[in-house]
A and B are shown apart, each in its own frame.
Chain A
Amino acid sequence: DTGVSQDPRHKITKRGQNVTFRCDPISEHNRLYWYRQTLGQGPEFLTYFQNEAQLEKSRLLSDRFSAERPKGSFSTLEIQRTEQGDSAMYLCASSLASLFTTYTQYFGPGTRLTVL
């Protein structure tokens, strides 16, 4: 399967614990996006990378959240000191990129986080 993959698919944690999610994009895609979706709502943008550079972060991304894409391939999203409000589906997407062209984003299956 050459689509976007995410791991784990489900994570249950206790408040105050740290969690880390992984996203593997489609191999030739140089853009990688993280979104968050709470129940009944549309997804919200968190951050995105072009290759290994983090180009934009939402103000939703508090200092408890950090994302990396160290070699321009897979990415990790870490949440420190989780809170119940962090419970959501975390979605990763990838796409090609160029200055003047918009490309379709391909989404992974998501990681559902439950903070108890």
Chain B
Amino acid sequence: KNEVEQSPQNLTAQEGEFITINCSYSVGISALHWLQQHPGGGIVSLFMLSSGKKKHGRLIATINIQEKHSSLHITASHPRDSAVYICAVSTSGSRLTFGEGTQLTVNP
């Protein structure tokens, strides 16, 4: 079993829909990260959180430390949100352990 599990693996939505991507982890962490990867490889950090909830524009990330679970929500989705979203955890402040990613496609 991977230390970081994401669901779903693939997600197709219509423009405007509310999207949720889930992440579960099985180890103690210092922080959880949500990352976005566009075709071509570039990875951008969206959120880093260790408790509660963070919001940036149409993106919201939540974490439940007791349940070892996090969710990434996208409100009013748009085709430009199409990308791979990756959940990762850091332990003792160093390296990241990644989930396999969720391929999101938002159709106009």
Question: Is B97's CB within 8 Å of the partner chain A?
Answer: yes
Question: For window 57-116 of chain A, which residues contact chain B by CB distance below 8 Å?
Answer: 89, 91, 93, 97-107, 109-110, 112
**Chain A contact residue count (CB 8 A cutoff):** 30
Question: For window 22-46 of chain A, which residues contact chain B by CB distance below 8 Å?
Answer: 31, 33, 35, 37, 40-45
> Quick one: given A41-B100, A42-B101, are A56 and B94 in contact (CB under 8 Å)?
yes
Classify the interface of chain B: helix, strand, loop or mixed.
Answer: strand
Question: In the complex, what's the smallest C-beta–C-beta distance from A93 to chain B, in angstroms?
Answer: 8
Q: CA A31 – CA B93 in complex, angstroms?
A: 11
> Quick one: given A99-B93, A102-B48, A102-B90, are A44 and B41 in contact (CB under 8 Å)?
no
Q: CA A109 – CA B43 in complex, angstroms?
A: 7
**Chain B contact residue count (CB 8 A cutoff):** 25
Q: CA A107 – CA B100 in complex, angstroms?
A: 17
Q: Which residues of B contact A56 (CB under 8 A)?
A: 94-95
